Amino acid sequence: MTKKIKDKGRDSIDFGRSRIGPLFQRLFYPTLLSMVFASLFTVADGIFVGQGVGSDALAAVNIVAPLFLMTTGIALMFGAGVSVVASIHLSQGNCKAADINITQALEVPALLMVVLSFLIYIFQTPFLRLMGCSDVLMPLARQYLLFILPGCVFIICQLVGTFVIRLDGSPKFAALLEIIPALLNIFLDWLFVFPMQMGIAGSALASTLCCALAAGMVVWYMSFRTQTMHIRRLKFSLTSAYLTARNIGYMARSGFPSMLGELAMSMILLTGNYVFIRALGEDGVAAFCVACYLYPIVVMINNAIAQSAQPIISFNYGAGNSKRVREAFRLSLRTSAICGMAATLVLTLGAKPLIGLFLHAGTRPYEIATAGLPLFAVSSIFFALNVAIIGYYQAIEQNFRATVFMLLRGLIFLVPAFILMPALIQPQGMWLAVPVTECLTLGVILLTLLFRQKQRSTPAGTTSRADRYIQPSQQEQ
């Protein structure tokens, strides 16, 4: 059974029979456009805060940024999870189960974020201390935190809705969920920071208002424009609560590696903030902040590749079409390699003008960032390949492997790298911690694949279903 979505004046997508290359492109270009604008959403905040308020304000934003990434991680966990689960249900013709899944994926994490935001509001000072905030940055960080907290709930609805709408066969509308708020955010950042002189609070307020707009667009789409995916009223009973908990757990397991991807970025920010502020003070954090504003562009591009390949892989995995699964995976891998190399070159060769967008030339933070960004940029190619492979395992429900690999790059290798590299190479080691982490993770992934391939080549060897999808069968060879 295939899924074909067709309506007058709208997208037509057949995950089971369309040629993989054109199908991937139809999903990838709108997704890439939306991801680029999502990056611009964040970058605009950094530019206006850095130029309009100052380097200390930029450092304060970097202190609060792990909260934003944690929120994004929760949204991606449920968004990616429901996309995998619902894709498999749709490939089997079970539309009602898919509808129930998307309803739960939209409502439960939003409620969870309301509770978390309330707790952070009550304990805001201890929370900021935990994030590594210094006394100098505390007033600015508190201002930004108070105005960004309401936006966290809207981010959940926006990002989960993006996955659902893309699966519903409207990747172009899903792209608009990022493009329209990003353009509005640029205007509001300028308005609030410069003419209205609202400072760092104005930047946070602009972000919250734009996320609210995106959430409203999701509600409008699901109410009036949806094609096959529908919101269903959930029952309130013990049996319904049990089934909801079971489904949420299943989606969370499927999407957990995506959350770990955002938590990995949070750990980069959190650990990097501690290391840079101890070694170079607030100027070091401001310099590191520039890399943290630019790196999400690389992250978003490669997430666009993984998210575009995911519904194709998941649908055909559920339908048992191994040849199409392998073709989609290899296409995503090639695309990731090209984008990773391009990102490394751009961040290396264009370091000075890019840094100049955030910091004034000649200042100490500018000089620190100019020396460090080209080193940090080396991580792009390794990161791109890691995300493509991890995204593949996630799409075919090999969640344990995807989780282990994400833990390697987000915690197990990262924290020791930030501790050891500055001791081995000073001061370049602080900037090389992330490239070393991504390189080591890719090495482990490739060794694992090589070991599985050797197992497969021996008569006594056993191969998981995931590895059979990567390697062509002997009949196909």
Which positions ≥6 away from 440 have C-beta within 8 Å? 408, 413, 417
Predicted TM-score (pTM) above 0.85: no
pLDDT at position 269 is 82
Secondary structure of residue 5 in the 3-state scheme? strand
Domain ranges of the chain: 17-470
Secondary structure of residue 14 in the 3-state scheme? strand
List the structure tokens of 56.
């200390």
Task: Write out pLDDT tens, residues 346-370.
Answer: 999 999 999 998 988 989 999 999 9
For tokens 């304060």, the residue is 60
Give the other-Cβ count within 10 Å of 179's Cβ: 19
Task: Write out pLDDT tens, residues 250-302.
Answer: 888 878 877 877 778 788 888 888 899 888 888 998 899 899 888 888 888 99
Contact between residue 397 and residue 363 where contact means Cβ atoms under 8 Å apart:
no
Mean pLDDT of the chain: 85
Task: Write out pLDDT tens, residues 65-88.
Answer: 888 888 988 998 898 888 888 887
CA distance 62 to 241: 38
Mean pLDDT of 231-241: 77
E strand or H helix at 432, and its extent? helix 428-457
pLDDT at position 428 is 86
List the structure tokens of 332.
């995503």
The amino acid occupying position 181 is P
